[in-house]
Structure 1
Amino acid sequence: MAKVTDKAREVAATYEGANEPRPLTGYLALLATYGTGLAAVAAAVRLSGRSLPDRVRLQDLATVTVATHRISRLLTKDAVTSPLRAPLTRYTEPAGTGEVNETVRHHGGFRHAAGEMVTCPFCAAVWTATGLTAGLVLAPRLTRLVAAAATAVTGADFLHLTYEIVKQRARGVERAAPPERG
């Protein structure tokens, strides 16, 4: 066991940059957690007697894709969910409408890796998509309902932002228009 530990330390030391230590053991713990979650889902599918679908319906794929985007941003960037990330992160600045930028609070180990995970929408998307996809097998009606709601929120966000852009452009046109002659 000591040889394995020594080799792991050697790999970590070789991998790390001079100015930025990388939390390889933390990443390994996250990978193990993800793998354990997948094994639990596989066991739940087997115990439930359900079978995997031969293919994914295009409508499910589209809805889960949009829902994954929205949920991963909600978990990693939304100002309202920042208390969930606060033990691992530090607020740095606003990041647009309702979103914040945060930095990892702890350096090295699991807390660093988890801090990166909860501030990275791309990282969280993998876990979110996995959860929604597992949900399509284990609880398809509930999963479709949750995915539909998240997709609707994404559409509403897009409409809100579009509306604001149109308003700003209209104000710019009003200011730039010469006075009418009468």
Structure 2
Amino acid sequence: MGERSFRDKVSRLRQAYAPHEHRPLGGYLVAMGGYAGLLGTLATAVKLTGRPLPSRPSTADIVLVSIATHKLSRVLSKDAVTSPIRAPFTQYDKPIGSGEVMEQVRDQGSGTRHAIGELLSCPFCLAVWIATGLTGGLVLAPRLTRLAATALTAVAASDFLQMAYAMAQQAAQGQAKPDASD
């Protein structure tokens, strides 16, 4: 199938799927292809290194990877400091507290750019990619992956403690709204 024919089919599919709203289905296909590429790369690396796959992940690794995935997906998709990564695909909207920002996906540009903007600004969407990378890391470089995941988990726990401290401090002062950025 030629590129023109493929684009025509995607355009017709997009029109049938969401006639009154722009949905970058072609961009989503590119993103899914990138994810498939990530999986293929991990599988190839596991095969080439001869690393054995665990019969089942340990509960401790599942908890560690889950919390690390949560934290890294928030850092990459919402932290003000990582906004330069997202800037080509998103536009700053407003601060949302605790060092995080709200951004809007850029509408101008390609469907791929839009899809990447959605991926990079959505912690739920990004978590799939991060969990896949960390899980692959547990097979290919388990000590390094556990060390990095431990650091991310410690930061996530610290975030909750900072917010609990701010809430307790404000409750002691008789204030109604907590502001964890203090």
Give the structure-1-normalised TM-score: 0.90
**Residue 144 of structure 2: aligned partner:** 142
1:5 is displaced (CA, Å) by 4.2
Answer yes or no: is the 8 Å Cα contact 2:10–2:25 preserved in 1.
Answer: no
- Which of 161, 164, 167 is residue 165 of structure 1 equivalent to? 167
Deviations 1:46-105 (A, max 9, x none): 000111100100000000000000000000000111111111111101112110000011
Aligned residue for 1:147, secondary structure, equals helix
Instruction: Give the aligned length.
Output: 172
Q: Structure 1 stretch 108-117 or stretch 67-76: which is displaced more?
A: 108-117
Corresponding position: 1:111 with 2:113:
yes
- Aligned-residue identity in percent: 53
**Residue 9 of structure 1: aligned partner:** 11
**Residue 126 of structure 2: aligned partner:** 124
Q: Which has the larger radius of gyration?
A: 1
**Residue 32 of structure 2: aligned partner:** 31
Alpha-carbon separation, structure 2, partners of 1:85 and 1:146? 22
**Residue 54 of structure 1: aligned partner:** 55
Alpha-carbon separation, structure 2, partners of 1:54 and 1:77? 35
Q: What is the aligned-residue RMSD (CA, Å)? A: 1.3
Aligned residue for 2:147, secondary structure, equals helix
Alpha-carbon separation, structure 1, partners of 2:12 and 2:173? 61
1:7 is displaced (CA, Å) by 2.8
Aligned residue for 1:172, secondary structure, equals coil
Alpha-carbon separation, structure 2, partners of 1:163 and 1:52? 42
Q: Can you give the 5+ residue segments of structure 1 that lack an aligned partner in the other structure?
A: 174-182
Alpha-carbon separation, structure 2, partners of 1:113 and 1:8? 14
